[in-house]
Amino acid sequence: MPSVLDLAPVVPVVVLDDIADAVPLARALVAGGLPAIEVTLRTPAALDAIRAIADEVPDAVVGAGTVISADGVNAAVAAGARFLVSPGWTERLLDAMEASGVPFLPGVSTTSEVVALLERGVSEMKFFPAEAAGGAPYLKSLAGPLPQARFCPTGGISLGSAPSYLALRNVGCVGGTWMLPADAIGAKDWARVERLAAGAAALRGRVQPKSTSTKSATGR
Protein backbone atom coordinates (compact mmCIF):
# COMPACT_ATOMS: atom_id res chain seq x y z
CA MET A 1 0.00 0.00 0.00
CA PRO A 2 1.29 3.50 -0.75
CA SER A 3 1.98 5.78 2.18
CA VAL A 4 -1.19 6.92 3.94
CA LEU A 5 0.04 10.47 3.33
CA ASP A 6 -0.17 9.95 -0.43
CA LEU A 7 -3.59 8.32 -0.83
CA ALA A 8 -5.57 11.58 -0.97
CA PRO A 9 -5.09 15.23 0.00
CA VAL A 10 -7.57 14.87 2.86
CA VAL A 11 -8.22 12.06 5.34
CA PRO A 12 -11.76 12.35 6.73
CA VAL A 13 -11.78 12.01 10.53
CA VAL A 14 -14.96 10.10 11.27
CA VAL A 15 -16.75 9.79 14.62
CA LEU A 16 -19.57 7.27 14.32
CA ASP A 17 -22.32 6.67 16.85
CA ASP A 18 -24.54 4.53 14.64
CA ILE A 19 -23.00 1.45 13.05
CA ALA A 20 -25.66 1.60 10.33
CA ASP A 21 -24.03 4.78 9.00
CA ALA A 22 -20.59 3.25 8.54
CA VAL A 23 -20.90 1.63 5.13
CA PRO A 24 -22.98 4.28 3.31
CA LEU A 25 -20.76 7.02 4.72
CA ALA A 26 -17.61 5.24 3.60
CA ARG A 27 -19.07 4.63 0.15
CA ALA A 28 -19.89 8.32 -0.18
CA LEU A 29 -16.38 9.36 0.83
CA VAL A 30 -14.76 6.90 -1.59
CA ALA A 31 -17.08 7.99 -4.41
CA GLY A 32 -16.01 11.57 -3.73
CA GLY A 33 -12.36 10.67 -4.06
CA LEU A 34 -11.30 10.20 -0.42
CA PRO A 35 -10.41 6.51 0.02
CA ALA A 36 -8.41 6.84 3.26
CA ILE A 37 -10.89 7.03 6.14
CA GLU A 38 -9.91 7.44 9.78
CA VAL A 39 -12.56 6.09 12.15
CA THR A 40 -11.79 7.35 15.63
CA LEU A 41 -11.97 5.00 18.60
CA ARG A 42 -14.11 7.46 20.55
CA THR A 43 -17.45 5.67 20.46
CA PRO A 44 -18.70 2.16 21.22
CA ALA A 45 -19.55 1.73 17.53
CA ALA A 46 -16.03 2.44 16.26
CA LEU A 47 -14.57 -1.06 16.04
CA ASP A 48 -17.73 -2.49 14.47
CA ALA A 49 -17.70 0.42 12.01
CA ILE A 50 -14.11 -0.34 11.02
CA ARG A 51 -15.01 -4.00 10.58
CA ALA A 52 -18.04 -3.20 8.43
CA ILE A 53 -16.14 -0.79 6.19
CA ALA A 54 -13.26 -3.24 5.80
CA ASP A 55 -15.67 -6.03 4.86
CA GLU A 56 -18.11 -4.13 2.65
CA VAL A 57 -16.27 -1.21 1.05
CA PRO A 58 -13.28 -2.74 -0.74
CA ASP A 59 -12.11 0.53 -2.27
CA ALA A 60 -11.82 2.17 1.15
CA VAL A 61 -8.58 2.19 3.12
CA VAL A 62 -10.02 2.28 6.60
CA GLY A 63 -7.88 3.16 9.58
CA ALA A 64 -8.32 3.73 13.29
CA GLY A 65 -7.78 7.08 14.96
CA THR A 66 -7.47 8.15 18.58
CA VAL A 67 -5.38 5.06 19.22
CA ILE A 68 -3.88 5.60 22.68
CA SER A 69 -3.04 2.13 24.01
CA ALA A 70 -1.55 -1.19 22.99
CA ASP A 71 -4.98 -2.76 23.50
CA GLY A 72 -6.44 -0.21 21.12
CA VAL A 73 -3.79 -1.05 18.54
CA ASN A 74 -4.58 -4.76 18.73
CA ALA A 75 -8.34 -4.30 18.67
CA ALA A 76 -8.21 -1.93 15.69
CA VAL A 77 -5.99 -4.22 13.62
CA ALA A 78 -8.16 -7.23 14.49
CA ALA A 79 -11.20 -5.28 13.27
CA GLY A 80 -9.54 -4.63 9.91
CA ALA A 81 -7.83 -1.26 10.32
CA ARG A 82 -5.19 -0.78 7.64
CA PHE A 83 -3.47 2.14 9.35
CA LEU A 84 -3.33 3.65 12.83
CA VAL A 85 -3.34 7.26 14.00
CA SER A 86 -2.62 8.51 17.51
CA PRO A 87 -3.02 12.01 18.97
CA GLY A 88 0.32 11.57 20.75
CA TRP A 89 2.72 8.78 21.60
CA THR A 90 4.64 7.03 24.32
CA GLU A 91 7.40 4.44 23.97
CA ARG A 92 4.95 1.66 24.85
CA LEU A 93 2.35 2.84 22.35
CA LEU A 94 4.98 3.27 19.65
CA ASP A 95 6.28 -0.25 20.27
CA ALA A 96 2.77 -1.62 19.85
CA MET A 97 2.16 0.33 16.65
CA GLU A 98 5.49 -0.79 15.20
CA ALA A 99 4.66 -4.42 16.06
CA SER A 100 1.20 -4.19 14.48
CA GLY A 101 2.41 -4.66 10.92
CA VAL A 102 0.33 -1.78 9.55
CA PRO A 103 1.37 1.82 8.80
CA PHE A 104 0.91 4.33 11.58
CA LEU A 105 1.01 8.07 12.19
CA PRO A 106 2.01 8.94 15.76
CA GLY A 107 0.90 12.36 16.91
CA VAL A 108 3.34 15.19 17.60
CA SER A 109 3.06 18.86 18.47
CA THR A 110 6.67 19.81 19.34
CA THR A 111 10.05 19.73 17.65
CA SER A 112 11.46 17.43 20.35
CA GLU A 113 8.75 14.85 19.68
CA VAL A 114 9.58 14.94 15.97
CA VAL A 115 13.29 14.43 16.66
CA ALA A 116 12.53 11.55 19.03
CA LEU A 117 10.48 9.79 16.37
CA LEU A 118 13.16 10.33 13.75
CA GLU A 119 15.60 8.65 16.14
CA ARG A 120 13.26 5.65 16.11
CA GLY A 121 13.21 5.57 12.30
CA VAL A 122 9.70 7.02 11.99
CA SER A 123 9.42 9.84 9.48
CA GLU A 124 5.65 10.14 8.92
CA MET A 125 3.58 11.70 11.69
CA LYS A 126 0.32 13.36 12.61
CA PHE A 127 0.65 17.02 13.65
CA PHE A 128 -2.01 17.62 16.27
CA PRO A 129 -3.77 19.82 17.25
CA ALA A 130 -2.65 21.59 14.10
CA GLU A 131 -4.21 25.02 14.37
CA ALA A 132 -3.73 25.33 18.13
CA ALA A 133 -0.13 24.10 17.92
CA GLY A 134 1.08 26.70 15.43
CA GLY A 135 -0.55 25.78 12.15
CA ALA A 136 1.05 25.93 8.74
CA PRO A 137 3.71 28.50 9.79
CA TYR A 138 4.98 26.09 12.46
CA LEU A 139 5.23 23.18 10.02
CA LYS A 140 6.93 25.39 7.45
CA SER A 141 9.58 26.28 10.03
CA LEU A 142 10.30 22.58 10.63
CA ALA A 143 10.99 21.84 6.97
CA GLY A 144 14.46 23.43 7.07
CA PRO A 145 16.06 21.64 10.04
CA LEU A 146 13.97 18.45 9.75
CA PRO A 147 13.33 17.89 6.03
CA GLN A 148 12.99 14.13 6.45
CA ALA A 149 9.81 14.46 8.53
CA ARG A 150 6.41 14.45 6.79
CA PHE A 151 3.09 15.27 8.36
CA CYS A 152 -0.67 14.87 8.29
CA PRO A 153 -1.83 17.95 10.22
CA THR A 154 -5.20 17.51 11.90
CA GLY A 155 -7.23 19.65 14.26
CA GLY A 156 -9.19 22.76 13.36
CA ILE A 157 -8.42 22.57 9.63
CA SER A 158 -11.11 23.74 7.24
CA LEU A 159 -11.66 23.80 3.50
CA GLY A 160 -10.32 27.35 3.53
CA SER A 161 -7.15 26.64 5.51
CA ALA A 162 -6.28 23.25 4.03
CA PRO A 163 -4.49 24.62 0.92
CA SER A 164 -1.97 26.51 3.07
CA TYR A 165 -0.95 23.20 4.63
CA LEU A 166 -0.98 21.19 1.41
CA ALA A 167 1.34 23.71 -0.23
CA LEU A 168 4.10 22.80 2.24
CA ARG A 169 6.70 20.31 1.07
CA ASN A 170 6.62 18.43 4.38
CA VAL A 171 2.84 17.91 4.35
CA GLY A 172 1.40 14.92 2.52
CA CYS A 173 -2.25 15.32 3.45
CA VAL A 174 -4.47 16.89 6.09
CA GLY A 175 -7.12 15.42 8.36
CA GLY A 176 -10.48 17.10 8.56
CA THR A 177 -14.17 16.84 9.33
CA TRP A 178 -15.72 19.58 7.21
CA MET A 179 -16.97 17.04 4.64
CA LEU A 180 -18.90 15.31 7.44
CA PRO A 181 -21.41 17.90 8.71
CA ALA A 182 -23.55 16.57 11.54
CA ASP A 183 -26.80 17.60 9.86
CA ALA A 184 -25.93 15.69 6.69
CA ILE A 185 -25.06 12.55 8.63
CA GLY A 186 -28.15 12.91 10.78
CA ALA A 187 -30.30 13.18 7.64
CA LYS A 188 -28.30 10.38 5.97
CA ASP A 189 -27.68 12.75 3.09
CA TRP A 190 -24.85 10.73 1.57
CA ALA A 191 -25.06 12.64 -1.72
CA ARG A 192 -24.09 15.82 0.13
CA VAL A 193 -21.21 14.03 1.85
CA GLU A 194 -20.02 12.80 -1.54
CA ARG A 195 -20.12 16.35 -2.97
CA LEU A 196 -18.17 17.73 -0.03
CA ALA A 197 -15.66 14.88 -0.32
CA ALA A 198 -15.20 15.66 -4.00
CA GLY A 199 -14.43 19.27 -3.12
CA ALA A 200 -11.83 18.10 -0.63
CA ALA A 201 -10.30 15.65 -3.10
CA ALA A 202 -9.96 18.46 -5.64
CA LEU A 203 -7.61 20.34 -3.32
CA ARG A 204 -4.68 18.31 -4.65
CA GLY A 205 -4.94 20.10 -7.96
CA ARG A 206 -4.78 23.54 -6.30
CA VAL A 207 -1.23 23.14 -4.95
CA GLN A 208 2.13 22.50 -6.55
CA PRO A 209 3.51 18.93 -6.63
CA LYS A 210 6.04 18.20 -3.88
CA SER A 211 8.79 15.66 -3.37
CA THR A 212 7.72 12.71 -1.20
CA SER A 213 10.98 10.76 -1.04
CA THR A 214 11.05 9.91 2.65
CA LYS A 215 10.75 6.74 4.71
CA SER A 216 7.34 5.31 5.44
CA ALA A 217 5.63 5.61 8.78
CA THR A 218 6.69 2.11 9.70
CA GLY A 219 10.32 2.83 8.93
CA ARG A 220 10.30 -0.03 6.44
Helix (H) or strand (E) holding 117: helix 111-119
Measured between alpha carbons, how far is 213 from 161 in angstroms, rounded to an integer?
A: 25
What is the 3-class SS of 83-100, one letter each residue? Answer: CEECCCCCHHHHHHHHHC
* 126 a catalytic residue: yes
Q: Which of 38, 98, 124, 194 is catalytic?
A: 38
Contacts of 144 (CB under 8 A, 6+ apart): none
Q: How many CB atoms lie within 10 A of CB 186?
A: 10
* 91 a catalytic residue: no
Using alpha carbons only, give the angle 122, 125, 129 rounded to the nearest 5 degrees.
150
Q: Which of 98, 124, 126, 194 is catalytic?
A: 126
Helix (H) or strand (E) holding 12: strand 10-14
Measured between alpha carbons, how far is 104 from 138 in angstroms, rounded to an integer?
A: 22
* Coil, strand or helix at 150: strand
- For the annotated catalytic residues, the residue numbers are 38, 126
